[in-house]
């Protein structure tokens, strides 16, 4: 696991991203557009702190910030095509590590791991639904 994290950390460093910025990109990638307060809540920081983080991501052209047409004080955030590409590069980095790892498993071990991951995925989905 240390190698997986090391490779992902290298990816973040090469792209000038902090863990909070990566979390924000993942939120927008998987959850779709949202407001600044949703990012603040997810990160557990103030709106001012998340605004600074968002400013950096906007400057890197990884996310786009637009005004809410019904409330000009509110801002909508969405990931840009460049942001998607950067994040997908990070996902590919992690996937390559997993592929290298799984090639070392026997077919029987691969079946066992797949079954365990299916159970964990189901539990995670129920946990999210309950929250």
In a domain, 50, yes or no: yes
In a domain, 84, yes or no: yes
Rounded to whole angstroms, how far apart are CA atoms 18 and 78?
A: 18
In a domain, 116, yes or no: no
In a domain, 114, yes or no: no
CATH number for the domain harbouring residue 77: 1.10.10.10
Contacts of 79 (CB under 8 A, 6+ apart): 25, 28, 29, 62, 63, 64, 87
Write the pLDDT tens digit of every residue in 30-64: 999 999 999 999 999 998 999 999 999 999 999 99
In a domain, 14, yes or no: yes
Average pLDDT, the chain: 88
In a domain, 124, yes or no: no
Domain that holds residue 15: 2-104
Write the pLDDT tens digit of every residue in 83-129: 999 999 888 888 888 888 888 999 999 999 989 999 999 998 888 77
């Amino acid at each position: 696991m240390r190698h997986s994290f090391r490779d992902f950390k290298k990816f973040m460093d090469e792209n000038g991203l902090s863990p909070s910025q990566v979390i924000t990109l993942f939120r927008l990638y998987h959850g779709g557009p949202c407001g600044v307060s949703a990012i603040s809540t997810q990160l557990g920081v103030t709106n001012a702190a998340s605004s600074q983080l968002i400013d950096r991501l906007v400057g890197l052209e990884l996310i786009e910030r637009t005004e809410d047409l019904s409330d000009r004080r509110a801002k909508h955030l969405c990931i840009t095509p460049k942001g998607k590409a950067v994040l997908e590069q990070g996902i590919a980095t992690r996937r390559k590590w997993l592929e290298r790892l799984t090639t070392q498993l026997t077919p029987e071990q691969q079946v066992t791991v797949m079954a365990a991951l299916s159970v964990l995925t189901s539990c995670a989905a129920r946990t999210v639904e309950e929250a």
